Amino acid sequence: MGFIEDKRFIQYGARCLFFDRHEGVSDNPFDSLNVSFNVGDNPSNVKNNIEIVRQLANADKIFTINQVHSDLIIKYGDNIKDADGVYTKEKGVFLGIRFADCVPIVFMDIKQKIIMVVHAGWKGTHLGIAEKACEILFDEGCNPDNILVSIGPHICKNCYEVKEDVASKFGSCSIKKKDGKIFLDLEKANIVQLEGMGIKKENIESMGICTYENRDFFSYRRDKKCGRNIGGILLV
Ligand SMILES: [Zn+2]
């Protein structure tokens, strides 16, 4: 174990990697590849884990943001850290999103070689962060036909139970009611946004992994006190 790769990106000079929880140095309940300093893990272990990720990704640098469930997307190099998305044209920098049920989404304009990652939990999804991501890429001169999107591991539509207050913020196509419970399909909600912005259906791919069901990944819903996985993209 280590990471899963969306291999579509390789031919365009990029590596899109979603790391699982293995091969790190943190102890239970952060075992072992936790990349978050904010969950109670030993900071030196977290530093070591980020270095392990850097080496496995063969990156010069790992860049992550302080994810705050916003719709703010920054450019790498901006002097801002609180955000939920980041993009760059720079090679060698692995742009990483921390996740443990929320949806990590990777973008690349294959012609202009611009890469972007965003973090879409229910709040970011409700704020339309996937649409915002597309708008920024279009402002950078990207054509929707040239944008590849990868949806990383996250809690799936069969596992993500929500209350009415959250469900009411989403359209009926991403909500399912079953046995008196309500489930939210975050992947679908984001795909609707992406397609609405003109991204081609065939250019959007999900890794099809549920963090709640698959114990190779951290899941906040399942474990409460746990680490965070990392996923993202690097121009090589
Ligand atoms: Zn699931």
Complete domains list, the chain, with CATH: 3-235 (3.60.140.10)
pTM of the model: 0.97
Catalogue the long-range contacts made by 169-176 (C-beta closer than 8 Å, 24 or more residues apart). 169/122, 169/126, 170/125, 170/126
Whole-angstrom distance, CA of residue 100 vs CA of residue 154: 7
208 CA → ligand 1 middle, Å: 10
Q: State the chain's mean pLDDT as an integer.
A: 97
What is the secondary structure of 166-213 as a DSSP string?
HHTTS-GGGEEEETTEEEE-HHHHHHHHHHHTT--GGGEEE---BTTT
Residue 122 CA to ligand 1 center (angstroms) comes to: 15
What lies within 8 Å, CB to CB, of 44 at 6+ separation is none
Q: Is 39 helix (H, G, I), strand (E, B) or coil?
A: coil
pLDDT in tens, 6-29: 999 999 999 999 999 999 999 999
Tokens 């990944």 -> residue: 217
Q: How far is the CA of 127 from the centre of ligand 1 (A)?
A: 23
pLDDT band at 156 (very low <50, low <70, confident <90, very high): very high
pLDDT tens digit sequence for 204-226: 999 999 999 999 999 999 999 99
Residue 193: the pLDDT is 98
> Which single residue is written with the structure tokens 């090589």?
236
* Cα of 214 from ligand 1 centre, angstroms: 8
Q: How remote is the CA of residue 97 from the centroid of ligand 1, in Å?
A: 20
Per-residue pLDDT tens digits for 95-116: 999 999 999 999 999 999 999 9
Chain centroid to Cα 149, Å, comes to 11
